Amino acid sequence: MEKSLEEKRKEYKDNMEKALNPFESFDPEKFEPLATEEEAKLAYRKRTSPPKELPTFELKPKEIMEGQMIGMYESKQDLYLIFAHRCNELQKEIELLKEAIKNNKIK
């Protein structure tokens, strides 16, 4: 017997709820989605806020081809480097603006 539309909707909703919230007890400080308990004990990495300036080790990402969707061909490393370089530039601009405001050069 075929399921009714309402039964299918409920089943879909239940499956999506389970997929989107797979962990009964969620601790954002110790969240490790792919590790078993034993693996988590061996390869535990502490979760912290990133520093103001992200490390790039002076590496630069490959050039982005105009018209290309960013991320379509870039490696994870290149995506990180694009993000890190832009964040670092913005952080420097923020620091300069804070200093200018502090010295009453901007009101």
Tokens of 16: 């999506």
**Would you list the domain boundaries of the chain?**
1-48, 49-107
Cβ-contact 93, 52 below 8 angstroms: no
Residue 25 pLDDT > 80: no
Calculate the average pLDDT of the chain.
85
Is the overall model pTM greater than 0.75, yes or no? no
Alpha helices in 43-103 (DSSP H): 76-102
The H or E element that residue 11 is part of is helix 5-20
53 or 43, greater pLDDT: 53
Interval 90-106 mean pLDDT: 91
